[in-house]
């Protein structure tokens, strides 16, 4: 995945760019570098005279940068194979927060939890009293709050497996 590199150091005299967020870079992954202020392409993997070489996290340019300033803004496009996984992980976390903020099992308008009922009731006897429940603390000896936490964990596990598989 192509990403824009913003954390770098440019040395016009040495014709080097140090990628500060990396311990090493791969030359084939450097896609394009442009001096935005000078409107010049200073590295292009497919261009003549605008190539370079790499040692660790430092790219040495073939381009003559002597007329530039060390403070010139550069636009650096780098193919970071790990960025794709990071983007997927961030999207999964955002989705988890959206589900947690507005869980599908809660009806906010009625301030109630929804329940998925399986099976059927074949015979109902006479119901003599119906009471509105305002605060459930336990469901059959199981803390009600724990049920919500378990549902969130299950949703996260399914989401993570689906995104990273």
Lowest mean per-residue pLDDT among 37-46, 127-136, 152-161:
127-136
In DSSP notation, 82-139 reads THHHHHHHHHHHHHHHHHHHS-TTEETTTTEE-----S------------------EE
Pair (20, 67) in one structural domain: yes
Whether 61 and 99 map to the same domain: the answer is no
**Does residue 36 lie in a domain region?**
yes
Please give the tally of structural domains in the chain. Answer: 2
pTM of the model: 0.54
**104 and 47 assigned to the same domain:** no
Q: Is residue 125 part of a domain?
A: no
Residue pLDDT, tens place only, 104-133: 767 777 766 666 666 666 776 777 766 665
Buried b (16+ CB within 10 A) or exposed e, 76-111: bebebeeeeeeeeeeebeeeeeebeeebeeeeeeee
165 and 86 part of one domain: yes
pLDDT in tens, 43-63: 998 888 999 999 999 999 999
Q: Are residues 10 and 89 in the same domain?
A: no
> Domain range spanning residue 62?
2-79
């Amino acid at each position: 995945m192509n990403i824009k590199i913003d954390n770098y150091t440019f040395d016009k005299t040495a014709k080097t760019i140090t990628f500060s967020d990396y311990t090493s870079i791969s030359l084939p992954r450097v896609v394009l570098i442009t001096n935005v202020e000078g409107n010049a392409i200073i590295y292009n993997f497919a261009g003549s005279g605008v190539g370079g070489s790499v040692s660790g996290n430092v790219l040495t340019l073939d381009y003559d940068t002597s007329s530039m300033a060390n403070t010139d803004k550069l636009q650096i496009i780098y193919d970071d194979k790990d960025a794709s996984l990071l983007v997927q992980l961030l999207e999964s976390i955002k989705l988890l927060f959206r589900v947690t903020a507005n869980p599908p099992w809660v009806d906010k308008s009625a301030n109630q939890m929804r329940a998925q009922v399986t099976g059927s009731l074949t015979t109902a006897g006479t119901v003599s009293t119906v009471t509105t429940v305002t605060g459930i603390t336990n469901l059959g000896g199981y803390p009600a709050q724990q049920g919500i936490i378990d549902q969130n964990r299950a949703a996260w596990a399914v989401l993570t497996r689906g995104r990273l598989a």
